[in-house]
């Protein structure tokens, strides 16, 4: 009996060590009013919850995502990312209202119809991508996306009046994307966008195309940013087929680009930009801010500008941090 009780105590300690519960409340930054039904989640995962009618939420944090920041999104507000939180202290999150610059527009004329189709095509190419997987992606609520149709400015702006719902039949996922900003500059043909996403459904659980999707996932994963940071963490760069070089074309080892602190946290850093070779693909890392924190799940902090193969990977090629090779 004593052994049974001792085993239960060990199990409870193990469960307590593997998961935490973060509690908090979401507020309007300007008015101080509570925000009901905001989405609280880990960007790029299946893990999320919603604030209730009183703005309160509880989010379970497991061992796998304990080093990730929490993202809070709500339509009509800019998303907020919170990296500093503790299970011992309630979290107050303040969202800034999003001021839309659009007026009601009814698409009736052929010229506006053509303009909308052109803008939607541009948005899809930038957000979802142009890879093979992008061909199997569909935005399910295009009617909730609007543009500054009548603006004479050089900038095309997109506004999502609801979370963008994306079905990715290529990889077998349904995704909710919170668009914070989308701007296309006609003169330079440069696009800037920002947003966050949560995976809502794994379609392979009920799809007869599951074996095909799983093959595509494996092909997409190998050589991706997630794959790169996972093998970098594990010290398996060479074994996995990656080659890292500096701007002088000097081959680098993992120890040349990784900083590690006393808590076993790891950071990517180097005094020059880097090239990454994997199979027949070449990518480039340009440091905007360093060192760049990363963990064993493949998560990494902002601070990198990607060019080359990995820069082409957009929502169509994204998989949740829960993904593992089978």
Contact 35, 5 (CB under 8 A): no
Does 216 map to a domain? no
CA distances from 266 to 159, 185, 278, 290 (A): 37, 37, 22, 12
User: What's the rounded Cα separation, in Å, for the pair 271 and 57?
Assistant: 42
What is the pLDDT at residue 88? 82
The token pair that represents 68 in the structure block: 């990730």
What is the pLDDT at residue 204? 85
Q: Are residues 196 and 226 in the same domain?
A: no
Does 12 map to a domain? yes
CATH number, residue 79: 2.60.40.1120
HSE-up (13 A, CA, CB side) for residue 158: 33
Domain that holds residue 42: 2-95
Q: Are residues 51 and 118 in the same domain?
A: no
pTM: 0.88
Does 195 map to a domain? yes
User: What's the rounded Cα separation, in Å, for the pair 282 and 284?
Assistant: 7
What is the pLDDT at residue 5? 39
Identify the CA nearest to 68 among candidates 51, 43, 87, 90. 43
Please count the structural domains in the chain. 3
Give pairs for 85-89: CB < 8 Å, separation 24+. Answer: 85/22, 85/24, 86/22, 87/20, 87/21, 87/22, 87/61
User: What's the rounded Cα separation, in Å, for the pair 58 and 193?
Assistant: 29
Q: Are residues 87 and 167 in the same domain?
A: no
Identify the CA nearest to 59 among candidates 75, 35, 76, 43. 43
Does 185 map to a domain? yes
3-state secondary structure of 260: strand
Boundary (domain end) residue, out of 43, 61, 95? 95
Does 198 map to a domain? yes
Q: pLDDT tens digits for the chain (326 residues)?
A: 444 333 334 334 343 445 689 999 999 999 999 999 999 999 999 999 999 999 999 999 988 888 899 999 999 999 999 998 888 889 999 999 987 665 544 555 566 788 889 999 999 999 999 999 999 999 999 999 998 876 667 888 899 989 999 999 999 999 999 999 999 998 888 899 999 999 998 988 776 778 899 999 999 999 999 999 999 999 999 899 999 999 999 999 999 999 999 888 999 999 999 999 999 999 999 999 999 999 999 999 989 999 999 999 999 999 999 999 87
Q: Are residues 115 and 188 in the same domain?
A: yes
What is the pLDDT at residue 10? 38
User: What's the rounded Cα separation, in Å, for the pair 199 and 47?
Assistant: 8
Does 148 map to a domain? yes
Place of tokens 């080892």: 253
């Amino acid at each position: 009996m004593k052994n049974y009780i001792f085993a239960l105590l060990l199990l409870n300690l193990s469960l307590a060590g593997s998961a935490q519960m973060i509690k908090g409340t979401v507020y309007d930054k300007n008015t101080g009013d509570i925000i009901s039904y905001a989405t609280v989640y880990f960007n790029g995962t299946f893990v999320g919850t919603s604030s209730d009618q009183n703005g309160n939420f509880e989010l379970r944090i497991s061992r796998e995502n304990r080093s990730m920041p929490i993202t809070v999104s709500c339509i009509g507000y800019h998303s907020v990312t919170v990296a500093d939180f503790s299970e011992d202290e309630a979290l107050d999150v303040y969202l800034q209202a999003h001021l839309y610059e659009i007026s009601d527009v009814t698409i009736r004329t052929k010229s506006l119809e053509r303009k909308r189709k052109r803008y939607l095509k541009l948005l899809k190419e930038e957000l979802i991508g142009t890879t093979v997987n992008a061909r199997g992606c569909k935005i399910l609520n295009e009617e909730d996306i609007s543009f500054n149709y009548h603006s004479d400015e050089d900038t095309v702006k997109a506004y999502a009046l609801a979370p963008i719902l994306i079905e990715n039949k290529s990889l077998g996922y349904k995704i909710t994307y919170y668009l914070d900003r989308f701007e296309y500059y006609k003169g330079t043909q440069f696009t800037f966008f920002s947003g966050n996403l949560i995976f809502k459904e794994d379609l392979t659980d009920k799809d007869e195309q599951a074996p095909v999707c799983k093959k595509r996932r494996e092909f997409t994963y190998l050589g991706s940013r997630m794959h790169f940071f996972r093998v970098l963490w594990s010290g398996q760069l060479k074994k996995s087929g990656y080659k890292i070089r500096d701007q002088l074309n000097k081959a680098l080892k993992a120890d040349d680009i990784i900083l590690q602190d006393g808590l076993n946290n790891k950071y990517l850093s180097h005094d020059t930009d880097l090239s990454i070779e994997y199979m027949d693909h070449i990518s480039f890392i340009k440091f905007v801010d360093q060192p760049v924190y990363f963990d064993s799940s493949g998560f990494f902090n902002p601070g990198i500008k990607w060019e080359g193969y990995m820069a082409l990977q957009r929502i169509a090629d994204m998989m949740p941090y829960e993904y593992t090779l089978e």
